[in-house]
Structure formats: structure tokens, C-alpha cells
Structure 1
Amino acid sequence: MASAVTLVQGASRGIGLQFCKTILKRHPGSVVIATCRQPNSSTGLQQLKAENPDRLDLCELDVTKDEQIGNVVKFTKERHGKLDLLINSAGMLHTSGRGETSLRDVSREGLIDTFNTNTVGPLLMAKHFAPLLKSGSGYFGIKSPDSKTQHTSILVNMSAKVGSTTENQLGGWYSYRMSKAALNMCSKNLSIELGRGSKPVICVSLHPGTVDTDLSRPYHKNVPKLFTTEYSVDCLMDVVESLTMSDTGKFFLYDRTAFPF
């Protein structure tokens, strides 16, 4: 059995794909399950699979489709029997590709589609994968010196600073801001429920910084500090590997700064 099993949801490109690359490199004895809507169409995933044929599993998974989530749960259970790290990485700014700048841009369809991918999907992933997370080996993170229980696994929801109601000074981006604020509440709720029992799971939200990806590309000219995916994910994995149960339910930036909801 692999020393650790990680599932990256939304792995076709950008931060999700980089998580797969970084974890495979940093943890040689581990395996990664990379999921996205069309894994056969991702050149990056296909190349990574060719380089790691025995350590990378590719699965079709659209988080808006419950049946596909169930299929990947079954695959993970039968092939690996556990899950040590779940990263919900898939996200969308808006169906149009740009955030709403005012109320006149808000639509029911845009709100629902954004919430479905950014909030509902990660919550249902947590629901269906919770038993496998509870069966994890505790490979990632560290145990608190005063802890009487060993955590099993870690659940990461990729969030964003713009989802913080405390820090919102500019407005706009209704769908994206609201969906990420709700995702942070999702992480908090999960930390309470999955934190119970003798094998609790650490649940956190993480902000990757502004990264050079398709999602942020329309706004690069206004960004004072733009990160590569490699740098961002290296920082995020440093955070993941430093987590203890005292961190569960929190929202961290890429540099491990705790950020207000």
C-alpha cells in the first residue's frame, strides 16, 4: 500500500495540476488520484501520467455530477482503501469568465453555476469521501504535542482572500466572493463534524496568492505580486505539512498567515 494517497479535484491545469506534480515529487512513496472533467484532454495530466504510470491515477470527475463523485469514491476505496489528503481545487470566477462589476451584471444562472462548482461541489466531495478520510494513515501534517488523538487525514478547500467579508473593501465579483465566503463556512462546519471521534480530520481553507492561471489572467495588469503555480503550491504544501488539529477550521494564506473570514 502507498505511504500516502492524495486526491486532487480539479487537476487538469493550473494549481490543481501543479499540486499533482509537487506531491509526486516531494513524496516519492505516495500516489495521487487526479480528477477533472476530461482527463484525456489534459496534455499536462497525460504527460504526468506517462512519467508516473504507477503513481498517478486519472479519473473523470465533474463535481456537479453526484454519480461521478460516487464512481471515484468506489475506485479509491477498491484500489487504495484510504485517503490521506483531499484537495478541492476546481473553481470558476463566473460563467462569463469575468467577475460582476455591479448589480446589473448579476444573473441567477451565473450565481447558481458559480456556487455549484465553488461551494456545493467541495461540500459533496467531503460528504462522500469522509469515510475514506477517516481511514487515512495520518501521513501529512504533524501531531500536536499535547494531542491525545492522532489525526487521520487533511481536507483542503482552495479559497480566496476576496471571500473574506472582513477584508472586502471594493465590492463587485458577487458570485465569486459569495461562493468563497460560503466555502469558508463549509470548511468551518466540516472541521467541527469531522473533528469528532478518535480519528479526526483536519479541515482548512487556503488562499494561494494571485497565481498566473487562466482564472486570474484578465486581471494581471492590476496585480503587484503574481506567483507562478510552482511557487504557490510549494508554499501551500509547506502549510499543509505543518498542520495540526489546532489549525482545523481556519483560513490560511499561502505564507501560513491566519486570515479572517
Structure 2
Amino acid sequence: MKILIIGGHGGIGNAILLLCQQRYPSAELHATYRQTRPQSQPDEVTWHQVDVSDESQVHKLSEQFTHIDWIINCVGFLHNKHQGPEKSLASVSSDFFSENIRRNTLPTLLLSKYFTPILKRSEAGKMAILSAKVGSIKDNRLGGWYSYRASKAALNMIVKTVSIEWQRTCRKATIIALHPGTTDTALSKPFQANVPTGKLFTPGDVARDLIAIIERSTPEHSGRFYSYSGEELPW
């Protein structure tokens, strides 16, 4: 079994990486990081420095594999040091919107493009993508967060569209979108004060929930959107 974790340096990504090492001790594990390679990581993991919003780098990464069973994309973007999610239209910035699309949406499209031929060689290839419930159009009742919502809604559309193509070209493979819930990581840190009691999860808890969903997913689940609880979410 060969597993590639995109963003294995982040809070959720690293927790998934460590859990995979425990649960699948014979698996060949690969993980990516964007800038700084994580310290004190297991020797059994092969690390790749990749900006997955750069097409040439994703192409180069794919050329290092002849076979892959699971790809778990954990990269995500919510805020930078200059701007956070917009509370109103007055806060919208074209540059911030573009950064959300580039970092939240584009990587999955590029990974799908270059890794589909490789996943086809697996008897049960799987691609799991970390999305967010705020990307659900039907579930949007509060408004705001324009760029993040739009980038995740676009991501969800990519997952759905890839699943339709895979029905013809990659029939044994599964692609799903996953909502991890609010996780105690740097990404959610500025927004944790408003999280209801019991709804802020540790990365380890989230990793166990998401891996359980990935394990039981099959091609009939492809193109669907699941919460960490296993509930199917509306687009």
C-alpha cells in the first residue's frame, strides 16, 4: 500500500500521517511540505517539497510515482497576516480572493490531472480532499467569508466533476470531499472563541474520523461530501 499525504506538515495532515504509520505499518508513506520540512518526523516517511498550486511542481511530483493507492489532500488556506475571512462585501479584495482559489481549489484539480493515470493502476485507488462545510451552498445561512466559501464550493465542484469522469476512465477509484470540523490548528486559531463547547477537535481525533471514512469508501461513494461524523453533506 502506497499513501501520499499532501500537506503532511500541517496540523491535520501530520496527524493523519502519524495515524497511517500506526495503522498501516507496512505501507509506503510519502508526504509533502511547502516551505520548511517538519522536524522529528518518522524516518519511514519520504518527504517531498512541493507547492501544489504550481502545475509544474505537481507534474514533477507525479513523475516520481508509478503506483499510488491513496492520496489525501490536507492543504488549505483561510487567512494570512494581512487579511482574514471577509465579514462583508466591503472587505472583499481581488488578491485575497485569488489566493483562496489558488491555494484551496487549484491543487485538487492539478493532483487529479497528473495522478489519475497512476491511481488507475491501483485496485482501489482513493483521493480524499479536505473541504469545509461552509463551502456548501445549501447550508449557507450566515453569509460572509466570501473568498473562503467560494473556493471551497469550487473545490467541491471539482470533486464532483472528477468523479463523473472517473466513472468512465478510472472506474475502480474513489474521490470524496471531507469536512473535518473545527480543528485546533493554526488555521482555526483566530476563530476558536466562537466555537461551541465540544466542537473544537484535536487533530488526532479528526484524523481517526477521516481515516475511518476513507477506509470504508468505495466507488459508489465517489463524488460525495462527508462530515467527520460520517454524515453526507449537501453541496
Quote how far apart the aligned CAs of 1:251 are. Answer: 0.2
| Deviation per residue, 1:103-123 (Å, 9 max, x gap) | 111111001111011001111
1:104 matched to 2:90? The reply is yes
Rounded to whole Å, the distance in 1 between the matches of 2:171 and 2:55 is 26
User: Are the equivalent residues in 1 in contact too, given 2:79–2:187 (CA < 8 A)?
Assistant: no
1:67 maps to 56
Stretches of 4+ aligned residues off by more than 6 angstroms: none
User: Are the equivalent residues in 1 in contact too, given 2:58–2:114 (CA < 8 A)?
Assistant: yes
Q: How does 1:23-34 map to 2 (within 5 A)?
A: 23-34=20-31
Rounded to whole Å, the distance in 1 between the matches of 2:160 and 2:59 is 24
2:137 maps to 165
Match of 1:136 among 122, 125, 134: 122
1:185 matched to 2:151? The reply is no
| Deviation per residue, 1:132-155 (Å, 9 max, x gap) | 1111242xxxxxxxxxxxxxx011
1:22 matched to 2:7? The reply is no
* RMSD over equivalenced CA pairs, Å: 1.3
1:92 maps to 77
Rounded to whole Å, the distance in 2 between the matches of 1:64 and 1:183 is 13
User: Are the equivalent residues in 1 in contact too, given 2:116–2:170 (CA < 8 A)?
Assistant: no
User: Are the equivalent residues in 1 in contact too, given 2:123–2:172 (CA < 8 A)?
Assistant: no
1:58 maps to 47
Cα 1:109–1:241, aligned 2, differ >3 Å: closer, same or farther?
same
| TM-score normalised per structure 2 | 0.94
Q: Which amino acid aligns with 2:16?
A: F
SS in 2 for 1:196: helix
Q: Which amino acid aligns with 2:158?
A: C
Q: How does 1:178-217 map to 2 (within 5 A)?
A: 178-197=150-169, 199-217=171-189
Cα 1:131–1:230, aligned 2, differ >3 Å: closer, same or farther?
same
Bigger drift between 200-209 and 190-199 goes to 190-199
Number of aligned residues: 232
Q: Which amino acid aligns with 1:255?
A: S
1:6 matched to 2:3? The reply is yes
* Percent identity of paired positions between Structure 1 and Structure 2: 37
Quote how far apart the aligned CAs of 1:38 are. Answer: 2.1
Structure 2 unaligned segments of length 5 or more: list them: none
SS in 1 for 2:71: strand
Rounded to whole Å, the distance in 1 between the matches of 2:156 and 2:138 is 13
Rounded to whole Å, the distance in 2 between the matches of 1:217 and 1:98 is 12
| Deviation per residue, 1:158-189 (Å, 9 max, x gap) | 10011011111111111110000111111000
| Deviation per residue, 1:44-84 (Å, 9 max, x gap) | xxx12xx3x2x311001101212211221112x2xxx2111
Quote how far apart the aligned CAs of 1:195 are. Answer: 2.4
